[in-house]
Chain A
Amino acid sequence: MTEVVLQTRGISKAFGAVQASTEISLDLRAGEIHALIGPNGAGKSTLIKQIAGNLAPDSGTVQFLGRDVTGLGTVARARMGLGRTFQISALAMEHTVLQNAVLGALGARGGVFRFFRDVMRNRELTEVAMQALERVGLQDQAATRTAELSHGQRRQLEVAVALTLGPRAFLMDEPMAGLGAEGSKHLTGLLDGLRAEAPILLVEHDMDAVFALADRISVLVYGRVIATGTGPEIRANAEVRQAYLGAEDAA
């Protein structure tokens, strides 16, 4: 059996009366893309936040690289090698695209508490950053202020910053949103190759991308995983068709 990199065990989380996660157990194995799909408000982002360490689950545990990380914060999990992109871009908007990528490289390499040398002249960092920008296709925007990027480009930058970390696993929350046909195709190609470097837990609404990429798919409805399986298995699953895919499955 392939190695499990990331795993949740019986995670539950309630916001008042809203049960956003109910006993969620899923795993991410080396070399795979595991897609997490579900209707709006199903609890996908909430699950990602609990795995990344932004939110503490009410019960259940998160294991990463064979370690129980439930008690660790976001920073510690990032340092262990958890790379993450946000559904709503969290970037330094006043900084340039390159500066955002350099920040990622800086975080991964350490040495934040240096006060004198120009960080943008540090070749070690800028090279890692430029490479990441090239991979997502943002190299021409390197000197652009991040606030001036389109929504899709910000998504790409999110991915690029995650790449600079050289992480052991990726959590991506809707990286394709707002990307357009051309951009989605490019990113699909990138993620396809990326799974060999580190497995990806991918939240995505773009069903074409999901079925093209995912080794396995988990379906989340009202905070509960109702099915996990390969693309064809999920397509064939009656409960899934009823609960979620029904309307879109006409084709």
Chain B
Amino acid sequence: MKRERAINAAVVLAMLVVPLWAWMADEPFILTLATKVAILALAGVGLNIALGLGGLVSFGHAAFFGIGGYAMGILASHVQSYTPLMEWPLLIEGSKSMPVIWVVAMMASGLAALVIGALSLRTSGVYFIMITLAFGQMLYYFAISWSAYGGEDGLSIYVRNGFPGLNTLDPVQFLLLCYAVLGVVLFGAARLARSPFGLALSAARQSAARVETVGIAPYRVRLVAFAISGAVTGLAGALYADLNRFVSPTMFSWHTSGEIMVFVILGGVARLFGPVAGAALYILLEHLLGGVSDYWQIWLGLLLLAVVLFARGGLIGTLAGREVAHD
């Protein structure tokens, strides 16, 4: 536990020092990469609540990432085109304000997770993986055919959305905003893991029969966890769309689900900072190996294989040693 804290601190330090250096050396590209790491880590933190704490292997988190992205795209595109979102029965305008977009993104993706979870949590194991995958792909094809919002081509947003008191066009300010969001969510996730709900959720992962026997329904606990998990990943989707000023059906594709899962597994399943370390490592590898060879994912695959076979706790787990259940 102590060692894990030290490792977490090192991860935080690296995430601060690298952009600081990039800022002083005037390397805006590195700043963008750091922002991307923070946002993808956030998506992973979301998945980790379902996967790490709850043992729910969702292969469909792209659905929530994509819904978050489209929430941003749809709201902003209406402002961009000076058309209201809806005129009847009541007038609803689009929005270019990040707080509004985030709330909508989280509510939409959380609600979707509630529906998808309600149907898929009745199964388990491979069936659960397949059903969540199927829902993700359904939304993917839906987005492709949704011509009102760009269909296959997606939506471009010309100016990044705003946040009160900040200039989000400045890469440093946007980076810090993303860090702040990640920090708040990490704090919340740490509390959640130790809360009554977290205890019930992680116990249900280890023995559903035990949880039932003390009068707690595992299904309900898992469903709520899945909704929270989806909402966090949806928030990441909204930020990711804002980073790129672009949304497309790719956000919904199963590759995205796989990548989010890779962050978690690389960094360490059920470790608070696992997704952060995993996303950082992933982007680093993509950046370094991607320059050397187009086939860098083969190396990623090998690394992933090594982690699964020899280092089950991922980067954080391997360095920190076995998890000691919290005091």
Structural contact, B206 and A94, CB atoms closer than 8 A? yes
- Indicate whether A93 reaches chain B with its CB closer than 8 angstroms: yes
Render A59-89 as a binary contact track against B, CB cut-off 8 A, 1 for contact: 0000000000000011100110000101000
Which of the listed residues A100, A115, A145 has the most CB atoms from chain B within 10 Å of its own CB? Answer: A115
Question: In the complex, which residues of chain B have a beta carbon less than 8 angstroms from the beta carbon of A86?
Answer: 209, 213
Structural contact, B192 and A165, CB atoms closer than 8 A? no
Structural contact, A107 and B199, CB atoms closer than 8 A? no
Chain A's closest residue to B224 (CB) is A113
Question: In the complex, which residues of chain A have a beta carbon less than 8 angstroms from the beta carbon of B207?
Answer: 90-93
With both chains docked as a complex, state the minimum distance between the C-beta of A126 and any C-beta of chain B, in angstroms.
Answer: 11
Chain A's closest residue to B205 (CB) is A92
Structural contact, B212 and A145, CB atoms closer than 8 A? no
Structural contact, A145 and B325, CB atoms closer than 8 A? yes
- Indicate whether B326 reaches chain A with its CB closer than 8 angstroms: yes
- Indicate whether A122 reaches chain B with its CB closer than 8 angstroms: yes
Q: Which of B110-118, B130-138, B171-179, B215-223 contacts A (4 or more CB under 8 A)?
A: B215-223
Structural contact, A106 and B213, CB atoms closer than 8 A? no
**Assembled-state Cα–Cα distance A113/B200 (Å):** 9
- Indicate whether B194 reaches chain A with its CB closer than 8 angstroms: yes
Chain B's closest residue to A105 (CB) is B214
Structural contact, A103 and B194, CB atoms closer than 8 A? no
**Assembled-state Cα–Cα distance A104/B214 (Å):** 5
Which of the listed residues A92, A96, A145, A161 has the most CB atoms from chain B within 10 Å of its own CB? Answer: A92
**Assembled-state Cα–Cα distance A182/B43 (Å):** 53
Q: For window 70-99 of chain B, which residues contact chain A by CB distance below 8 Å?
A: none
Structural contact, A99 and B199, CB atoms closer than 8 A? yes
Structural contact, B214 and A78, CB atoms closer than 8 A? yes
Question: In the complex, which residues of chain A have a beta carbon less than 8 angstroms from the beta carbon of B257?
Answer: none
Question: In the complex, which residues of chain A have a beta carbon less than 8 angstroms from the beta carbon of B325?
Answer: 94-96, 99, 145
Structural contact, A119 and B214, CB atoms closer than 8 A? no
Structural contact, B199 and A106, CB atoms closer than 8 A? yes
**Assembled-state Cα–Cα distance A151/B216 (Å):** 25
Question: Which applies to chain B's interface (DSSP): helix, strand, loop or mixed?
Answer: helix
- Indicate whether A118 reaches chain B with its CB closer than 8 angstroms: yes
- Indicate whether A196 reaches chain B with its CB closer than 8 angstroms: no
**Assembled-state Cα–Cα distance A84/B32 (Å):** 56
- Indicate whether B198 reaches chain A with its CB closer than 8 angstroms: yes
- Indicate whether A28 reaches chain B with its CB closer than 8 angstroms: no
With both chains docked as a complex, state the minimum distance between the C-beta of B185 and any C-beta of chain A, in angstroms.
Answer: 13
Which of the listed residues B197, B215, B325, B326 has the most CB atoms from chain A within 10 Å of its own CB? Answer: B215
Question: In the complex, which residues of chain A have a beta carbon less than 8 angstroms from the beta carbon of B221?
Answer: 112
Structural contact, A115 and B216, CB atoms closer than 8 A? no
Structural contact, B214 and A107, CB atoms closer than 8 A? yes
Structural contact, B213 and A52, CB atoms closer than 8 A? yes
Question: In the complex, which residues of chain B have a beta carbon less than 8 angstroms from the beta carbon of A116?
Answer: 191-192, 195
Question: In the complex, which residues of chain B have a beta carbon less than 8 angstroms from the beta carbon of A96?
Answer: 325, 327
Chain A's closest residue to B324 (CB) is A145
With both chains docked as a complex, state the minimum distance between the C-beta of B186 and any C-beta of chain A, in angstroms.
Answer: 14
Structural contact, A108 and B214, CB atoms closer than 8 A? yes
**Assembled-state Cα–Cα distance A75/B220 (Å):** 11
- Indicate whether A54 reaches chain B with its CB closer than 8 angstroms: yes
**Assembled-state Cα–Cα distance A104/B196 (Å):** 11
- Indicate whether B203 reaches chain A with its CB closer than 8 angstroms: yes
Chain A's closest residue to B217 (CB) is A75
With both chains docked as a complex, state the minimum distance between the C-beta of A116 and any C-beta of chain B, in angstroms.
Answer: 5
Supposing A99-B325, A113-B224 touch, asked if A118 and B214 sit within 8 A by C-beta, the answer is: no
- Indicate whether B202 reaches chain A with its CB closer than 8 angstroms: yes
- Indicate whether B210 reaches chain A with its CB closer than 8 angstroms: yes
**Assembled-state Cα–Cα distance A115/B211 (Å):** 17
Question: In the complex, which residues of chain B have a beta carbon less than 8 angstroms from the beta carbon of A161?
Answer: 210, 213-214
**Assembled-state Cα–Cα distance A118/B210 (Å):** 21
- Indicate whether B27 reaches chain A with its CB closer than 8 angstroms: no
Q: Which 6 A-B pairs have the closest CB atoms?
A: A107-B214, A78-B215, A79-B215, A92-B206, A90-B209, A92-B203
Which residues of B are interface residues toward A (Cβ below 8 A)? 191-192, 194-200, 202-203, 206-207, 209-217, 221, 224, 323-327
Which residues of A are interface residues toward B (Cβ below 8 A)? 52, 54, 73-75, 78-79, 84, 86, 90-96, 99-100, 102-104, 106-108, 111-120, 122, 143, 145, 161, 164-165
Listed by A's residue number, 11 A-B pairs whose Cβ atoms lie within 8 Å are A92-B207, A93-B207, A100-B210, A102-B199, A106-B214, A108-B215, A113-B197, A115-B195, A115-B198, A117-B191, A161-B214
